Amino acid sequence: MTIIVTGGAGFIGSNYIFYLLEKHPEDRIICLDKLTYAGNLSTLASVMDKPNFRFVKLDICDREGVYQLFEDEKPDVVVNFAAESHVDRSIENPSIFLQTNIIGTSVLMDVCREFGIGRFHQVSTDEVYGDLPLDRPDLFFTETTPLHTSSPYSSSKAGADLLVMAYHRTYGLPVSVSRCSNNYGAYQFPEKLIPLMIANCLADKPLPVYGEGLNVRDWLFVDDHCKAIDLVIRKGREGEVYNIGGHNEMRNIDIVKLICHELGKSESLITHVTDRKGHDMRYAIDPTKIHTELGWLPETKFEDGIRKTIRWYLDNKPWWAEIISGEYQNYYAKMYGDREHLR
């Protein structure tokens, strides 16, 4: 097959490309990426020379460019990771999230209709479901949970999901959607919780934690996520949504303390700052459907995955140290440096 992976220079997309090239060397992989701040071409350095891999710098909103790429490559499958994905940035500037996440997705579906694609897969998020109360550990998100978004980011992803399913119903476009919990692992941009705390710990910098840090997330090791997506595009049913969760619920504050412990740093580095607007309290996914239909279960326990992740950041400091500069430094100061310290 020829597979176009959009957003493939980002965190999950790049890991997915590595997985495909190793697992399915008979396939041709085309990476389409705009290379925004979170897309890093150096991430793909190890595969750039592979004969069955091609990188194309392109915005999914560039209709003419996208159509030309499809004309050149005649892809069988499109897996759409391309998205603006950081909640804080969406609160600061919602419009770019609507443009990329909704309009960009519509461009991809239009071109898929035009060229008779075999499968369009939309990579989404559990954040489209809103949040769950901390005092109801028995509640989980299922594929039939109503969408109830809290941020411009999650609203834009929910809008894209609905559009994808509408193209399936209206035009018969062969689609699937997966909604995952929080990913972690190698090559994650350092604005996200785990790599941010690792980098700050190593530099003995303050570790900014929103509020009391009691927000709970279900953590999914990125390799497990890649395996799940591959199963969905090859064996999953058309027109279906599949939830992908890690069975690893953790409070933010406990993750930060664990990282401090693993790196031998004092918890006194933890600094509580003013909470994010509309901060969801708990996400938790029920992955029964993907397990029952496709046999998938997460293989990586959090204690193992977090150690692998920390080791990767220790061994690959040049990759992330280069990122923590310039525009990102300015953004970091705005998000955390100017916030009121709670204590």
SS3 of 155, please?
helix
Residue 55 DSSP one-character state: E
Whole-number Å distance between alpha carbons of 249 and 283: 8
Distance of CA 232 to the CA centre of its chain: 16
Considering the candidates 129, 153, 184, 313, report the single residue annotated as catalytic.
153
Residue for token pair 């412990």: 261
Contact 255, 229 (CB under 8 A): no
Phi-psi region of 144 (alpha: psi -120 to 50; beta: other; left: phi over 0): alpha
CA torsion, ordered 175, 180, 184, 185, to nearest 10 deg: -30
Considering the candidates 33, 59, 84, 126, report the single residue annotated as catalytic.
126
Residue 340 DSSP one-character state: P
Considering the candidates 127, 131, 223, 224, report the single residue annotated as catalytic.
127
DSSP per residue, 246-279? -S-EEEHHHHHHHHHHHTT--GGGEEEEPPPTT-
**What letter represents residue 280's amino acid?**
D
Beta strands 77-80 and 119-125: pairing type? parallel
Q: Quick one: which of 175, 250, 177 has its CA closest to 219? A: 250
Q: Quick one: which of 34, 29, 111 has its CA closest to 66? A: 111
Task: Determine the Cα angle at 80 with ends 79 and 83, to 5°.
Answer: 160
State yes or no: is 126 an active-site residue: yes
Whole-number Å distance between alpha carbons of 144 and 43: 36
State yes or no: is 127 an active-site residue: yes
84 φ, ψ (degrees, to nearest 5): -80, 130
Query: What positions carry a catalytic annotation?
Result: 126-127, 153
